[in-house]
Amino acid sequence: MDTAHSPLDIDRFRKVLARSRSSLHGGGHDPERETARRLAEKMAHAAGLSFEAAARMADGPSKSDNPFDFGRMWADFERAQRAKAEEAARYRFEETAHERMLREASASFNLEGRGTYPQSVGRKALRAIKDAIPWPANIADAVREVEAWDALECERRVRWDKYRLGDAAMIRRGLVLDYAIRGRARSTRDATARARWVLGREAFTSLSEFDREIGCETMLSDFERMAERLGAVTRENRILKVKRAASEGHPDRRTSAEKRAAVETVLRQPGADKLSLRQIADAAGVSHETARKVRAFGKVSKNDSGAVRPD
């Protein structure tokens, strides 16, 4: 059987479709309208289409028929970029040293329009931008650089409200911003600088809510690590104090309840189940036997002096 379909004469189909939709007789029974409808259905069937599909073709393409036209979107983007470049040409801003270094480092890469989409930039281009300017030595330096880029953009917007940083500068700012909100703080100075920046509402800080949430999560991690280190230092200081007193002939004068509380405090710490009796005793500043009794029975004998034995 021959299944070939003849092409749809779209102009003729539009005329027939229009007649099938008309109401020349006041909206009542219209034999011509019904005939036109049957003819339109026959034409659509001959073209291998349903009546509804042929009708959509006759009515013209809709947005739902072609929701993503990359060619049209790219043409619109290029047209907008040209218009922006023409408008920007009327404004002249003095290039900073960092802008010049970024421009020279990225000259061999096509970064036009990619400042807001750094994920579309290749690794070599990202490395060139990252190495063009000395990388921040710590979180505090990273925060200052991001604030400097934001301040520069804000200052230039006073003259031109549509101003945006150049593509290379925007990519550099994004890289440093990611380090500033995600990087691990290695000192209290870094943690404090990030906390003030993330929680503050400075004039030249344009952190998005998403970036601010990430910064808050990292900030909490910073403080948790600081608390753990502080607890470790406190336990070490206690051990040294007790050992020094024992070496100088001054016995531990704590009561049994105080000794038990010290051991229980150590046992409540994360990872205490992996500590040996010697480690528990040293951390609590009590004897090996006292630590054993508290861990085994949950109490300390009144006759147990709990004196710390020097190493």
What digits encode the pLDDT tens for the residues 125-150? 889 999 999 999 999 999 899 989 98
pLDDT at 281 exceeding the cut of 60: yes
Same-domain check for residues 126 and 189: yes
State if pTM tops 0.85.
Answer: no
Same-domain check for residues 42 and 138: no
Return the minimum-mean-pLDDT range out of 150-159, 211-220, 248-257, 300-309.
300-309
Is there a domain that residue 72 lies in? no
Of 170, 191, 207, which residue is a domain's last? 207
Same-domain check for residues 102 and 203: yes
Is there a domain that residue 296 lies in? no
Return the minimum-mean-pLDDT range out of 2-11, 43-52, 182-191.
2-11
Residue 298 per-residue DSSP state: S
Same-domain check for residues 188 and 108: yes
Of 207, 230, 263, which residue is a domain's last? 207
Q: Give the pLDDT mean for 55-62.
A: 72
Q: Could you tell me the residue range of the domain that residue 16 belongs to? A: 10-59
- How many domains does one find in the chain? 2
Q: How far apart, in whole angstroms, are the C-alpha atoms of residue 205 and residue 189?
A: 19
Is there a domain that residue 113 lies in? yes
Same-domain check for residues 192 and 116: yes
Same-domain check for residues 55 and 96: no
Residue 262: exposure state from Cβ atoms within 10 A (0-12, 13-18, ≥19): buried
Is there a domain that residue 40 lies in? yes
Which residue's entry shows tokens 């990359």?
Answer: 70
One-letter-per-residue 3-state SS of 13-55: HHHHHHHHHCCCCCCCCCHHHHHHHHHHHHHHHHCCCCHHHHH
Is there a domain that residue 264 lies in? no
pLDDT at 225 exceeding the cut of 90: no
CA-closest candidate to residue 206, choices 154, 156, 166: 154
- Note whether 251 and 243 are within 8 A (CB): no
- Note whether 267 and 244 are within 8 A (CB): no
Is there a domain that residue 201 lies in? yes
pLDDT at 101 exceeding the cut of 70: yes
Same-domain check for residues 104 and 170: yes
What digits encode the pLDDT tens for the residues 170-212? 899 989 988 988 888 888 888 888 888 888 755 445 677 888 8
Is there a domain that residue 227 lies in? no
Is there a domain that residue 170 lies in? yes
Same-domain check for residues 119 and 52: no
pLDDT at 241 exceeding the cut of 70: no
Of 183, 207, 231, which residue is a domain's last? 207
